[in-house]
Amino acid sequence: MLWRRSRARAAARARRATERAADHIDERLPLYESGGLLRKAFPDHWSFLLGEIALYSFIVLLLTGIWLTLFFHPSMTEVVYHGSYRPLNGVRMSEAYESTLDISFDVRGGLLIRQLHHWAALVFLAAIGLHLLRIFFTGAFRRPREVNWLIGVTLFLLALAEGFAGYSLPDDLLSGTGLRIAQGIMLSIPLVGTYVSFFAFGGEFPGQDLIPRLYALHILLLPGLLLALISVHLILVFYLKHTQWAGRGRTNRNAVGKPMVPHFTASSGGLTFMVFGVLTWLSGVAQINPIWAYGPYRADVVSTGSQPDWYVGFLEGSLRLVPPWETSVAGHTVMWNVLLPAVVLPGLLFAVLYAYPFAERWATGDSAEHHLCDRPRDRPVRTGLGVAALSCYGVLLAAGGNDVLADTFALSVNALTWVFRIAFVLLPPLAFMVTRRVCAALRERDQERLVEGEETGEVRQTIEGGYVESHEPLDEERRYVLRSYGFGVEEVGDAEGVEEPASSGDELGRRPSR
């Protein structure tokens, strides 16, 4: 009995000490307020994982990048190679290229980490691109998330620059060819192109300053900007709450899903290890960027069949498709065949991406808040525009490898180039029209399912001798979703007696509309 009393007194003292410590911390930090965040609801759908994959790939990039900085020498000073890769022994090369060879062949685990870094960069950019597409096609960029859309587009732009900077650091023949193209793009800018090129390269191409400057951008400025914008992006996701698909109990005034702790944290932690594992597996079995096969960069040599990474492949294709148009004005030559595809086209692309949320709000007159995701079929114009843009990107990406395609399939490069030029003009409007028709057909099909029910596959003969197919009614959940999307019923929820999830199920977080 005495033992039980002493144990109860000890527990009470420990509880009071914990409360005092918590009060002490709360006086200096918002401890009690942040406790509510632990129960914040996160909707559960596979398409919402794309942003998480991008985040975890970025973490892999940071970890592997820190390791690589310990061994990489960002210098263009010329040296003679005497290392483990014997085919290049005695060859003159830059210190940057030599150190990359040393990482690949002489540092324990170096090749694995190099390839892990490269694969993570590709997955990072792909995940951001797919995440932006998901947001675009579901309308998750609308009020009040316009700022988060702008941040996402900026993140994609910075990730492109970060990928190109890292791709160029080894100073091999393939990356040097890309830098040569980049210099041509700089020179195509009217009036200031020469000055831009001289500033970037520190003089005539290739100069001695570019690799150190790219290195500073790659490990300091661009990662710092990415980290800051990712932090702001996540804060806004917390503040504005996540979008969700329509369903019973889900309205524009709440968020239904897993609570942050422990459910979302556990599933997100599992996804983290899956991303790490898949990237490591890829790095071990799939070779990427074998710089030793290309050799060191020489300004008078271009490797056969050289192709950039996929995320800048559309620029390569656009450069190959524009005819050799030039104009001379007052002694200055304007190279339209470089300026239009490599400067004007990317500028227009990102200008449209930045302006689209505001342009759609102006065109539709819809300035209300939206927390429920659209189905792409319910917004045929937006979906058609997105598919048309994707068809443009696909044509340009394929055109970037027109020489490889022509050699592989024994075709004429000139004929293939003209096919891509025609496709670039005709395919986008065709894709837009077909997509609108497909969206309309899918909506008609949804209406039939709502009225007639789901087909069972059973056919019976009527007394008149005809044949009819039997149907069975849709379940209540599917009828609710179709009515919400198909007939514009945005919020049925509690008005129809929908029961909110209790603590035993998914967490329902509420936040009033502003």
Task: Say how far apart CA 119 and CA 140 lie, in whole Å.
Answer: 28
pLDDT of 245: 87
Say how many C-beta atoms besides its own lie within 10 A of residue 21's C-beta.
11
Residues 6+ apart with CB under 8 A from 95: 73, 75, 76, 77, 79
Question: Highest mean pLDDT: which of 10-24, 230-244, 280-294?
Answer: 280-294
Using the predicted structure, report yes or no on whether residue 98 has a pLDDT greater than 80: yes
Q: If we measure between CA atoms, which residue out of 311, 355, 415 comes closest to residue 153?
A: 355
Using the predicted structure, report yes or no on whether residue 370 has a pLDDT greater than 70: yes
Question: Two tokens at 147?
Answer: 């700022």
Residues 6+ apart with CB under 8 A from 219: 65, 69
pLDDT of 514: 35
Using the predicted structure, report yes or no on whether residue 508 has a pLDDT greater than 70: no
> Quick one: average pLDDT of 309-313?
86
Task: Say how far apart CA 30 and CA 35 lie, in whole Å.
Answer: 9
> Quick one: average pLDDT of 441-462?
81
pLDDT of 383: 96
pTM of structure? 0.85
Per the model's pLDDT, the better-predicted residue between 249 and 58 turns out to be 58
Q: Which of 152-156, 320-324, 389-393, 500-504 has the lowest mean pLDDT?
A: 500-504
What is the length of the chain?
514
Using the predicted structure, report yes or no on whether residue 427 has a pLDDT greater than 80: yes
Using the predicted structure, report yes or no on whether residue 489 has a pLDDT greater than 90: no
pLDDT of 457: 75
Buried b / exposed e across 485-508, counting CB within 10 Å, b at 16+? bbeeeeebbeeeeeeeeeeeebbb
Task: Say how far apart CA 375 and CA 247 lie, in whole Å.
Answer: 13
Using the predicted structure, report yes or no on whether residue 488 has a pLDDT greater than 70: no
pLDDT of 27: 60
Using the predicted structure, report yes or no on whether residue 32 has a pLDDT greater than 60: no
Residue 501: which pLDDT band, with cuts at 50, 70 and 90? very low
Torsion angle of C-alpha atoms 73, 76, 80, 82, degrees rounded to 10: 20
What residues are paired with 327 via a beta bridge? Answer: 334
To which residue do tokens 């819809």 refer?
Answer: 366
Residue 89: which pLDDT band, with cuts at 50, 70 and 90? very high
Q: Which of 48-57, 214-223, 410-419, 481-490 has the lowest mean pLDDT?
A: 481-490
Q: Is 467 left (phi over 0), alpha (psi -120 to 50) or beta?
A: beta
Using the predicted structure, report yes or no on whether residue 504 has a pLDDT greater than 60: no
